[in-house]
Amino acid sequence: MSLTPADMAFLARAPLMERFTPQELEVFASYLDPKVYQAGQVMIWEKTPQRSLSLLVTGVAVVSKTIRGEVESVLARLTTGDHFGELSLLDEEPASCNVTAEEECRVLIIEYSELERLFQEESALFAKLTWAMLKDLAQKLRATNRKVQEAVEWGLDAASLDHW
């Protein structure tokens, strides 16, 4: 299935591709496959092999983590322009979270094999993509650090351990 004009317009606005030229977007588009998920459909299962990057074109998806048994905690809601799957793509570990379509979602997917082909054929474009992914991961890590600090401070306040 080829990309639609709406997909191409999305790529031109997607934060991950903000430094791509129109020509680079055309080239990058040739490495992508579109897919549609229905509401409630799981796009990524936690702890399963996952080797692709997905760009959310339309819809809303929920990122969740299994805490204990069947209890899940919602970590994030993804909307148009967000992406997911980059951790497993980079470190070859199983997926760390579930990603489920909350409503119908259209995604553009680049599989690991296509990413390798991009590296071989378009190394400058590959570098732009990976740099953008690294910057985004750094922002996510900083946000996680803030949340951990807030949780620890809350725990200290709740236990009154900071008054010793």
pLDDT at 162 over 80: no
Predicted structure pTM score: 0.85
Show the domains of the chain with their CATH numbers: 5-163 (2.60.120.10)
Residue 163 confidence (pLDDT): 54
Q: What is the pLDDT of residues 27-42, one digit of tens each?
A: 999 999 999 999 999 9
pLDDT in tens, 70-124: 788 888 999 999 999 988 888 889 999 999 999 999 999 999 999 999 999 999 9
HEC string for the chain: CCCCHHHHHHHHHCHHHCCCCHHHHHHHHCCCEEEEECCCCEEECCCCCCCEEEEEEECCEEEEEEEECCEEEEEEEECCCCEECHHHHHHCCCCCCEEEECCCEEEEEEEHHHHHHHHHHCHHHHHHHHHHHHHHHHHHHHHHHHHHHHHHHHHHHHHCHHHC
Between residues 14 and 145, the one the model is more confident about: 14
